[in-house]
Amino acid sequence: MATQQTKSQDELASKGLVSKQPENIKEENEGEEEIEEAAVVVPPDSGWAWVVMVASFLCCTVIDGIVFCSGLIQEQLMAEFGVSKAYVAFVSSLLSGCYLMAGPFVSAMANRFGFRPVTITGAIFAAICFGLSYFATSVEYLFLIYGVLGGIGFCMVYIPAVVIIGFYFEKWRALATGVAMCGSGVGTFVFAPLTKILLKSGWRYTLAIQGIIVLSCALFGLAFRPIQPITLSVTNEEGDEQEKKKLNGHGNTVAPTPQLHQAAFTKPLPEGRFAYSMPNSAHNTYMGASQRNHYPTAQEIFKGMNLERRPSGTAQGSKGTELKQLRKSQPTTPNGDPQQLTFNLHKELTTVGENEEEAENDNLLETEAKPVTIQARRHTVSGRRPQDIGKRSAAAAHEAHHGQSHSSSRPMYRDDIFFSGSLTRIPQYQSQTSLAYHMSVTRLPTKQDMLEDRQKGCRICPEAVRRTLSTMLDTTLLKSPAFMCLAFSGFLTMMGFFVPFTFLVDRAKAAGMDEQAAYGVLSGIGVVNTFARIVCGSLSSFPAVKPLWLNNFALTAGGIATICSGIVINTATQWTFALFFGICIACFSALRSLIAVELIGLEKLTNAYGFLMLFQGLAATFGSPIAGGLYVMTGSYNAAFYFAGGLILLSAFLCYPLTWVSRWEERRNEKLTPLPAA
């Protein structure tokens, strides 16, 4: 049966490319029709989404809490293994570094297998690594098991927990992201005193208990269930009404018989390429796949449609709820199960949230799809009529339909998946309806991607993985001066980021502060970080507030406070330092995606985040050991804090001319871009 199904799919694919006509094209073959469709995930913005937000918050609490407090075990490790502070610092720095550097690879795994499996697997893997660390016989053993492997496990929990917020929220994305990221501050507040208590029983016992706590993230990951995409299709208004009116035993409308959906761009060319592909030379990347901007979006597939601009007076509050009625009217299968939503694109794109304004706004501007660097051609889907499909076995039809649904909900195929701010800051969101926006940022899976998803067994590196990696690690972005300034600034910030967490308690105790008060200051950074993220997220929602300015101010204040924090060491001065440093790290973490979008555009955000995670992870790996080496050479912790504060301050200075650099780069690119031929 599998062989026959594959053969039929190849036959369908070979007939799948036609030109767009003003009206529906009559079929040349009675057994075949041309349909156009794409699957788009629309965030629910309510209901289970809030459960996902709480689960994400708890994951961030556990993961960031342990990472930020991992340096507290260093004293006992130095005493047991007889190593220097600079060398032992690699134990915690490898944990924090690998937890960031593994980001692009974990993102690719999440794109292929989903958020839930990756989170659960990562939690179990990290818990095992912490358990094995109990039996460590050397610091090098901890480097590998606790630092490298444990960091990778942490990344497998952290990345899905952060990214899934953008998958579930539209209207409330900024709020939900802010609440989830508050787990970082809450984790520091909770795990600082908890680690102090556990260390009384030894570092081995501490790691074992933390491993059990990490295992709880597997339970939180169960909440990360996938979202069923909405299938957009251009249908005939005078379609087969008889099939639509069939009722099942429950009295509900029966969904039309599932069709063997093909990707909207699967016609093979003589060279062996797909119809939407770039020339073969574009595929000669080190990942074996094209970057994501070589793939069409759902909006480009339907670019012949009239996507109307939202009038300036339209209330923005209705955007996040305009598709709720569509979800409520979702049909069911004969068994009573919910069927994937399919509706008429001609009707929905002109009525979503704009019914009242249409009569009075006949001259609304039409949004043209953004041109892409692919051969200009229309992409359609070729399929069989439901009657013909019904002749196949039900199992084969269900398998094909299920495979298409899974492939089309790839989270990393969305351009805005890493955007953590309010969508109102994105021009594409402001200028069109909600559905049109989601179409414009959703890139569709290829035929090969869909076939791999349906096939049984495990592939070493499927296209969903290779395509994500090629997008996140596209080296052409390294030619952008604006991005390189931003990336190097982030590199310097992260090199000094973990130094205070690692050495603050030791410096306070060496200066004569009470140990309990010293741990209280470390917890205080977490408290300030929590509230500062909420305030920073709220401020960044206002169009008048520039995220880059806010970031520059926070980094400048944090750098100066870090440098001056050792002049006088007492409870008051250390809490003052905790205030400024907590605000600094909160703004740095919350504003990265907003700044990147302003500088290089939404379509390159995923690419930027891939390199930012690599650069920042590399910096985190070596920052604390270098600071530890400075302590060994000078005998003073102040040198370590001068090092960290100086780097943070320098990173702020690099960000000050970013606006000018970005404008200069835009002017340069305009001059280098050839004029279109007449």
Residue 671 pLDDT = 82
Query: Pairing between strand 366-367 and 307-308?
Result: antiparallel
Residues 222, 251, single domain; the answer is: no
Average pLDDT over residues 609-614: 93
Residue 426 pLDDT = 80
Is there a domain that residue 307 lies in? yes
| Model pLDDT for residues 420-475, shown as the tens digit of each residue | 888 888 877 777 777 777 777 878 777 777 777 777 555 667 778 888 888 899 89
CA distances from 474 to 286, 324, 465, 527, 607 (A): 9, 37, 14, 37, 6
Query: Which of 349-363, 376-390, 506-520 is most confident?
Result: 506-520
> Which DSSP string do the residues of 576-611 spell out, in sequence order?
HHHHHHHHHHHHHHHHHHHHHHHHH-GGGHHHHHHH
Average pLDDT over residues 590-600: 90
**Taking the CB of residue 441, how many other CB atoms lie within 10 A of it?**
23
- Placement of tokens 């070979």 in the chain: 14
Q: 180, 196, 226: which is the final residue of a domain?
A: 226
Average pLDDT over residues 608-631: 94
Question: Confidence band (pLDDT; 50, 70, 90) for 21?
Answer: very low
**Residue by residue, what is the 3-state secondary structure of 230-241?**
EEEEECCCCCCH
**% pLDDT > 90, the chain:** 44
Average pLDDT across the chain, whole number: 75
Q: What sign for the dihedral angle of Cα 74, 621, 499, 67?
A: negative
Report the distance separating Cα 416 and Cα 177, nearest Å: 13
Residue 398 pLDDT = 45
Query: Residue 372 pLDDT more than 90?
Result: no
Report the distance separating Cα 74 and Cα 90, nearest Å: 10
Residues 199, 260, single domain; the answer is: no
Question: Confidence band (pLDDT; 50, 70, 90) for 34?
Answer: very low
Domain extent at residue 427 = 12-21+29-41+229-457
Is there a domain that residue 673 lies in? no
Residue in 110, 78, 82 with CA at minimum distance from that of residue 92: 78
Average pLDDT over residues 219-225: 93
Q: 226, 242, 276: which is the final residue of a domain?
A: 226
Query: Residue 515 pLDDT more than 50?
Result: yes
Query: Residue 391 pLDDT more than 50?
Result: no
For residue 133, what are the contacts with CB-CB under 8 A and spacing of at least 6? 141, 142, 145, 146, 150, 204, 207, 211
Residues 98, 222, single domain; the answer is: yes
Query: Pairing between strand 307-308 and 32-40?
Result: unpaired
Question: Are 158 and 63 a contacting pair, CB within 8 Å?
Answer: yes
Is there a domain that residue 6 lies in? no
Is there a domain that residue 467 lies in? no
Residue 378 pLDDT = 35
- Placement of tokens 């574009």 in the chain: 282
Residue in 500, 35, 447, 475 with CA at minimum distance from that of residue 233: 35
Residues 417, 354, single domain; the answer is: yes
User: What residues are paired with 338 via a beta bridge?
Assistant: 332
Report the distance separating Cα 230 and Cα 343, nearest Å: 8
Question: Are 98 and 152 a contacting pair, CB within 8 Å?
Answer: yes
**Taking the CB of residue 642, how many other CB atoms lie within 10 A of it?**
20
Is there a domain that residue 551 lies in? yes
Query: Residue 348 pLDDT more than 50?
Result: no
Q: What sign for the dihedral angle of Cα 254, 257, 258, 263?
A: negative
Question: Confidence band (pLDDT; 50, 70, 90) for 10?
Answer: very low
Residue in 278, 297, 298 with CA at minimum distance from that of residue 289: 278
The CATH number of the domain holding residue 70 is 1.20.1250.20
What stretches of 82-228 show up as alpha helix (H) in DSSP? 85-101, 103-113, 115-133, 139-142, 150-168, 173-198, 203-221
Q: How many CA atoms lie within 13 A of 408 on its CB side?
A: 26
Residues 179, 309, single domain; the answer is: no
| Model pLDDT for residues 57-80, shown as the tens digit of each residue | 999 999 999 999 999 999 999 999
Residue type, 640: A
User: What residues are paired with 230 via a beta bridge?
Assistant: 40
Residues 213, 258, single domain; the answer is: no
Residues 35, 107, single domain; the answer is: no
Report the distance separating Cα 151 and Cα 236, nearest Å: 53
6-15, 185-194, 293-302, 546-555: which range is least confident on average? 6-15
212-216, 271-275, 281-285, 290-294: which range is least confident on average? 271-275
Residue in 146, 98, 91 with CA at minimum distance from that of residue 625: 91
CA distances from 615 to 35, 474, 490, 517, 674 (A): 45, 14, 8, 34, 33
Is there a domain that residue 282 lies in? yes
Residue in 263, 351, 235 with CA at minimum distance from that of residue 38: 263
Residues 237, 127, single domain; the answer is: no
Is there a domain that residue 465 lies in? no
Q: 226, 261, 290: which is the final residue of a domain?
A: 226
Residues 66, 36, single domain; the answer is: no
Is there a domain that residue 676 lies in? no
Residues 284, 186, single domain; the answer is: no
Q: How many CA atoms lie within 13 A of 574 on its CB side?
A: 25
In the numeric block, which tokens belong to residue 340? 């994937």
pLDDT higher at 228 or 263: 228
In the chain, the number of structural domains is 3
Residues 205, 278, single domain; the answer is: no
Question: Confidence band (pLDDT; 50, 70, 90) for 41?
Answer: confident
153-167, 230-244, 378-392: which range is least confident on average? 378-392
Question: Are 530 and 524 a contacting pair, CB within 8 Å?
Answer: no
Residues 127, 156, single domain; the answer is: yes
| Model pLDDT for residues 652-674, shown as the tens digit of each residue | 999 999 999 999 998 888 887 76
